[in-house]
Structure 1
Amino acid sequence: MSRGGWFDIRIRIHLLFWAVMGLSVVTGHFLEVITLFVIVLIHEMGHVAMARELGWTVTEVQLLPFGGVATMEDSYATDPLDEIVVALAGPFLNVVMMAISYLFWYGNVWSEEWARFFLVSNATIALFNLLPIWPLDGGRILQAMLCWVLPYRSAAILSMTGSTLLAGILVGFSCLDVKVNVLVIGIYLLTVNIQSFMRFPYHFFRFLMEKYVRQPDEHAVHALRVQPQETVLSVSHKLRRGYSHLLYVQGTGLLPEERLLHALLFEQKHDAKVGTLL
């Protein structure tokens, strides 16, 4: 990987990126390929700008041979609507660039051929990123929408399951049509989702820890009814994203979410009955 800082954001460039650049020079398509990567970078900067506007911490932007990924630290326990806004910021800039390409063609700044290439490239990148496959923008939007009606753990597992199936279908269709570029992308997305399943216990821990840290900032309160014999861990599986919870322990009393999280994260009371925390 190549690394560098840009406005305190680390830019990581995959080794295969340089291979693609070299191949584009050999085949005489360097201008087209570098333009695609500039479009992808602007797309990712849209995510970065919106995330920073919402107060999120953006650690890096990685350029891959077929796209880019912006890594953000504060996207686990935030309001689902914030996640949707950040996810849409990238495709929005693609739409802006499509409008610019039309204006440049209309004003005779660009030729019709180049304006068409720029417009189609932006449309393709925007629409591809809106596919409901994690970690594409569409996959993030789908998971955020599920978080409105389901606990975070259930929403994440459901969205990852759907993403894995869709990525597998993408690989299957690309094999039938012998489209190497789509096959590579499909394999990458399938691999990422399998890895997400394997790493989900860590991501769930991050979600709980972020909820504990963000307690003073979360204003929406969600009442949750639980049984006193339920374990601390099982109750944590019911917590939702973007809310603070007030737990009504049946027949016992009220338990703040902060007390539940402290018992789970710092006291290691995973199997303790939630009723004993009162």
Structure 2
Amino acid sequence: MSRVIPKISIHPSLWIFALLSFLSGQFSSFFLLFFYICLHEIGHVLAAWLLGWKIEKVALLPFGGQMQARGILDREILEESVVTLSGPFVNVLIIVILSVFFHDWSGFHESIRMNLQLLVFNMLPIWPLDGGRLVYLFAASFLPFKKANLWVCRISLFGIALLFLMILQQSFQLQWLLLLGYTLFCCLDHLKNLPVIEQQFFLERWKSDQGRGKMIPEIVQQELTVKDLVKKLKKGKRQTFILTWNGNIRKMNDTEIARIYFRLPPSSYR
């Protein structure tokens, strides 16, 4: 790892929640929630660290956190799933420990409620929540990289709109609107930056270990270009494309295609 302890920052939205808690006389509850948020994120960081991820930064948010790590766009799906699920697993573990050993504690019910809220909210199929990342990883198991990202953003936007309508039906709660607003911003920002993220994925594939994982053969049409083939690359999977040219069969693996792709003029990348 580049550093044993990653840089830790507090997102502005968490300060807003702290202010709202102070104004409503629930500052002690906020500190308790902040403690559980930290434990949730420690679960992610610990799993990533054990798997050898290069963690650069952790930003704490009202619902958990965002971990920035280098070179994870082409990580294996199972590996990233473990890191994604480790945060919610911590909340489940806390609920079990509280139920077994601390059921007589005065803050028992509030702590159970907080961890359940963190668990349920984080498992919503909305990017960049843990549930949204799991939807993305599921889509990435059978779709090319860009298509998987587009699908999770579409599902996220639908989920955000649905939750917004549900909130309007209930009593007005500013904190939920702030959370949805943040997820909406993240989703739209992800869509905006997707072309750049896709290029980073291609670069990671080019530099990846060709011996990692089993090669998956795929027969493709003769007229497909390198630019077409590179867009068929899937996250965390080694691929071999079989092409037929003038009666001859040629095989090209994914790293070879990525290498040729980056030798093309930059104007032809998109």
Q: Same fold (TM over 0.5)?
A: yes
In structure 2, the residue matched to 1:213 is 207
Whether contact under 8 Å (1:233, 1:270) holds in the other structure is no
Query: In the alignment, does 2:225 pair up with 1:231?
Result: yes
Q: Which amino acid aligns with 1:71?
A: Q
Q: Which amino acid aligns with 1:260?
A: I
Deviations 1:200-232, CA, capped at 9 Å, x for gaps:
001111111111122335222111222232121
In structure 1, the residue matched to 2:44 is 47
What are structure 1's unaligned runs of at least 5 residues?
Answer: 1-5, 273-278
Whether contact under 8 Å (2:230, 2:254) holds in the other structure is no
Whether contact under 8 Å (2:206, 2:255) holds in the other structure is yes
Say if 1:55 and 1:66 are closer, same or farther in 2 by CA, change over 3 A: closer
Shift of the alpha carbon at 1:27? 3.5
Shift of the alpha carbon at 1:155? 1.4
Deviations 1:147-174, CA, capped at 9 Å, x for gaps:
1222222211111111112112222322
Query: In the alignment, does 2:14 pair up with 1:17?
Result: yes
Shift of the alpha carbon at 1:125? 0.3
Query: In the alignment, does 2:25 pair up with 1:32?
Result: no
What are structure 2's unaligned runs of at least 5 residues?
Answer: none
Q: 1:197 aligns with which of 191, 199, 219?
A: 191
Whether contact under 8 Å (2:144, 2:234) holds in the other structure is yes
Say if 1:226 and 1:173 are closer, same or farther in 2 by CA, change over 3 A: same
Shift of the alpha carbon at 1:243? 1.5
Shift of the alpha carbon at 1:30? 1.8
Larger deviation, residues 235-244 vs 173-182: 173-182
Larger deviation, residues 56-65 vs 45-54: 56-65
TM-score w.r.t. length of structure 1: 0.87
- Percent identity reads 27
Shift of the alpha carbon at 1:271? 5.5
Whether contact under 8 Å (2:41, 2:64) holds in the other structure is no
Query: In the alignment, does 2:79 pair up with 1:82?
Result: yes
Q: 1:141 aligns with which of 131, 134, 142?
A: 134
Answer 1 or 2: higher relative contact order, Cα 8 Å, separation at least 6.
2
Distance across 1 between alignment mates of 2:216 and 2:167: 44
Shift of the alpha carbon at 1:49? 0.8
CA-atom RMSD in angstroms: 2.1
Shift of the alpha carbon at 1:78? 1.2
Shift of the alpha carbon at 1:21? 2.9
Query: In the alignment, does 2:56 pair up with 1:63?
Result: no
Shift of the alpha carbon at 1:68? 2.1
Distance across 1 between alignment mates of 2:132 and 2:120: 12
Shift of the alpha carbon at 1:179? 2.4
Whether contact under 8 Å (2:207, 2:255) holds in the other structure is no
Whether contact under 8 Å (2:125, 2:132) holds in the other structure is yes
Whether contact under 8 Å (1:131, 1:139) holds in the other structure is yes
Say if 1:102 and 1:19 are closer, same or farther in 2 by CA, change over 3 A: same
Shift of the alpha carbon at 1:267? 3.5
Runs of 4+ in structure 1 deviating by more than 6 angstroms, as ranges, are: none
Whether contact under 8 Å (2:208, 2:255) holds in the other structure is no
Larger deviation, residues 141-150 vs 11-20: 11-20
Q: How many residues align?
A: 263
